Structure 1
Amino acid sequence: MAKLDIIALDAKQAEARLPELAELLRACVYDGASVHFVAPFSIEQAQAFWRDKTLPSVAGGGRVLLAALVDGELAGSAQLDCDTPPNQPHRAEVCKLLVHPRHRRQGIARALMIELERQAQARRRSLLTLDTASGDKAEPLYRSLGYQVAGTIPGFALDGRGEKLNATTILYKALN
């Protein structure tokens, strides 16, 4: 039986896993995930996202980057953005929940979300928000974890293939 570990990566650890993180992002987008990228895009562009957008925020303490490791292999990741305005110190945003297509349907996304909630509570965040492509495979997961729909925005973003505009669903969860 495979061993699943969910760990928070610091910037140095994330940089060491940059090739794996880039491959994870590319695999998810090429499998249809709507996570700000449109295929085709290069592995260098995927690495640049992690290196230039994510790692500085992790290093500065404004973002938590979780990694899901299956027998030591990166199988998924998720981010918690705590870099909120001064009037929102109680809130954080769930970002980029990614599970490699070959590791799906094994409870990895749920485990990442549960750990993100724990990380949020440790940082005194009592409200989590997120958005997902309306009708996406992850939407039932979020609802099963107690996230409530705040609304939808039509034509919000191109799908991962750049073929059509998708609506996005905004969800939230108040943590105890």
Structure 2
Amino acid sequence: MGNEVIIEQLISTEEHMEELSELLIQVVEDGASIGFLPPVDLADAMNYWEEVLNPEVILFVAKRNNRIVGSVQLHLCAKQNGVHRAEIAKLMTHPNYRRNGIARLLMKSVEERARRENKSLLILDTRDGDPSNYLYASLGFIQVGRIPNYVKSVSGEFQATIYYYKIIA
């Protein structure tokens, strides 16, 4: 087993609150654009994880040596005209574990689950210029647009986001 990465779905965040909060804090401190600006305090991180799960959100984590080193969410669309689609959100890999294929494993797991949920369209967005743009393209996601001034950086600068989609059979 050793350094093997295991992907699993979490039904509850309660028993993993400390690890999930540390993951969120570390990725934001490292510059990730996932809706937070540094510094993220522990209380804010814990509040986020306490509220994240609901019937339309499926949370996957990557574990290495039984420690959470990454996560991703699949947001199922509950609208009658959108039951065929889902959004991938908040892909995170702890900075100490990047460049080891963890994000790719998480993305493959979330796509597989989307298929089991009978979803045929996946959408996501990421900040323009982030390394994740290369990952999504390599996984077959198609860039469809760029929205300028979408997010604000810690320095106050506005940055664009890129939207992607993937049709899955």
Question: Under TM normalisation by the shorter chain, which class is it?
Answer: over 0.9
Q: CA–CA distance in 1 between the matches of 2:4 and 2:14?
A: 23
1:147 partner amino acid: F
Question: Take 1:162 and 1:76, find their aligned partners in 2: how far apart are those partners?
Answer: 26
Q: Which residue of 1 aligns with 2:80?
A: 86
Mapping for residues 112-151 of structure 1, pairs under 5 Å: 112-151=106-145
Code of the aligned partner of 1:121: R
Q: Indicate whether 1:36 and 2:30 are aligned.
A: no
Percent sequence identity over matched residues?
A: 38
* 3-state SS of 1:29 partner: helix
Query: How many pairs align?
Result: 168
Deviations 1:59-115 (A, max 9, x none): xx2111001001111000000000431110000000000000000000000000000
| Structure 1 contact 63–83 (Cα < 8 Å) conserved | no
The separation in 1 between residues aligned to 2:125 and 2:162, in whole angstroms, is 5
RMSD: 1.0
Deviation at 1:48, TM superposition (A): 0.3
The normalised TM-score by structure 1 is 0.93
1:157-176 pair list within 5 angstroms: 157-159=151-153, 161-176=154-169
Off by >2 Å, runs of 4+ in structure 1: none
CA positional deviation for 1:41: 2.2
Give, in whole Å, the separation in 2 of the partners of 1:118 and 1:10: 17
- Report the TM-score when normalising by structure 2: 0.96
Residue 4 (structure 2) aligns with: 3
Counterpart position of 1:105? 99
Q: Secondary structure at the match of 1:17?
A: helix
- The structure showing larger relative contact order (alpha-carbon pairs under 8 Å, at least 6 residues apart) is 1
Post-superposition shift, 1:162?
4.4
Alignment correspondent of 2:67: 73
Q: What is the aligned partner in structure 2 of residue 49 from structure 1?
A: 48
Contact map agreement 1:97 1:109 (CA 8 A) in 2: yes
